[in-house]
């Protein structure tokens, strides 16, 4: 039986991945900060073995403890889904909150590095394993207010590519999934709990769903062992690119 380790499993993509992998018979290690949601998942996913850990990925010691104390059934991890992450704020850089920037760096970059570094040696020794990072279209395509969030996701993509280079010959696979507009708790978090602002993001659209993303993660994970999907960029049909913004003197700025 295979085992997936999913960070940020209490909501959105991570939760949908937990449910889909469990349906397909994978044992699970699930982490997040909200204990009651992890408890609910443990009670729901009873057909497979599930180990849940309250862990803030920003805390390096907590992450190492979580990995050091894995129960026997999940000491050997087949798949790490590096999903925990967040956007905070949508203000232009000159007005953005530095605390928000720091939290995004600590979570999306440093947290992802801590979990990866803690689990990687066992995968390399086993010459088997797969790391699937949750990047974003924001890592490749800048947009107003994306600033530090987009930069953290550019790190995630480049880190995945560089891991592949280091892991050459080990059999360990690395993939980066880069979703666009998707409805989850993402926007409520981005707007610090303002549900109206979050709802406005999705109004009149048909965004991607967490299940759409979980199905992609699953497909990437179950390719034959010699196949490495490097990156998957996915948007809802309602989303595409805009023309470059050209500032015109004396105009309205459009």
Rounded-to-integer distance, Cα 214 and Cα 141, Å: 22
Beta strands in 106-192 (DSSP E): 129-134, 172-179
Tokens of 183: 């409805």
**Choices 8-16, 63-71, 131-139, 159-167; region in contact with ligand 8X3 by CB under 6 A:** 131-139
Phi/psi of residue 189, nearest 5 degrees: -65, -45
Site membership for ligand NDP, residue 10 (CB under 6 A): yes
**Strand residues in 47-171 grouped as ranges (E):** 50-54, 79-82, 129-134
Residue 109 touching ligand 8X3 (CB under 6 A): no
Is residue 51 within 8 Å of 26, Cβ to Cβ?
A: no
> Pick from ligand 8X3, ligand NDP, none: which does 85 bind, CB < 5 to 8 A by kind?
ligand NDP
d(CA 66, CA 214): 24
Contact code string over 215-254 relative to ligand NDP, x by CB under 6 A? ----------------------------------------
In the list ligand NDP, ligand 8X3, none, the entry touching 89 (Cβ below 5 to 8 angstroms by class) is none
Q: Is 219 exposed, middle or buried (0-12, 13-18, 19+ CB in 10 A)?
A: exposed
Residues 177-206 that bind ligand 8X3 (CB under 6 A): 180-181
Of the candidate spans 34-42, 132-140, 202-210, 223-231, the one that interacts with ligand 8X3 by CB under 6 A turns out to be 132-140
Is 149 annotated as catalytic?
Answer: yes
Distance CA 221, CA 79 (A): 8
Residues 131-190 that bind ligand NDP (CB under 6 A): 134, 136, 179, 181-182, 184-186, 189
The answer to whether the beta carbons of residues 78 and 128 sit under 8 Å apart is yes
Q: Is 67 in the site for ligand 8X3 (CB under 6 A)?
A: no
Of 133-152, binders to ligand 8X3 (CB under 6 A) are: 136-138, 146
Residues at the site binding ligand NDP, with contacts judged by CB under 6 A: 7-14, 32-34, 56-58, 83-87, 107, 111, 134, 136, 179, 181-182, 184-186, 189, 210
- Positions annotated as catalytic residues are 149
């Amino acid at each position: 039986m295979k085992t997936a380790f999913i960070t940020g499993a209490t909501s959105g993509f991570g939760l949908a991945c937990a449910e889909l992998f469990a349906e397909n018979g994978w044992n699970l290690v699930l982490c997040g900060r909200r204990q009651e949601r992890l408890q609910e998942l443990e009670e729901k996913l009873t057909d497979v073995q599930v180990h849940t850990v309250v862990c803030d990925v920003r805390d390096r010691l907590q992450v190492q403890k979580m990995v050091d104390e894995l129960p026997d059934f999940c000491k050997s991890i087949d798949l790490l889904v590096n999903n925990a992450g967040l956007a905070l704020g949508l203000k232009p850089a000159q007005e953005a909150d530095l605390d928000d920037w720091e939290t995004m760096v600590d979570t999306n970059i440093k947290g992802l590095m801590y979990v990866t570094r803690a689990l990687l040696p066992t995968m390399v020794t086993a010459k088997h394993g797969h790391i699937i990072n949750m990047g974003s279209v924001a890592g490749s395509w800048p947009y107003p207010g994306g600033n530090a969030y987009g930069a953290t996701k550019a790190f995630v993509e480049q880190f995945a590519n560089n891991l592949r280079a280091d892991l050459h010959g080990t059999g360990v696979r690395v993939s980066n999934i880069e979703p666009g507009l998707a409805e989850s708790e993402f926007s409520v978090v981005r707007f610090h709990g303002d549900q109206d602002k979050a709802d406005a993001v999705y109004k009149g659209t048909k965004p991607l769903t967490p299940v759409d993303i979980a199905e992609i993660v699953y497909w990437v994970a179950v390719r034959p062992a010699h196949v490495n999907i490097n990156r998957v960029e996915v948007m809802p049909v309602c989303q595409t690119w805009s023309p470059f913004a050209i500032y015109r003197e004396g105009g309205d700025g459009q």
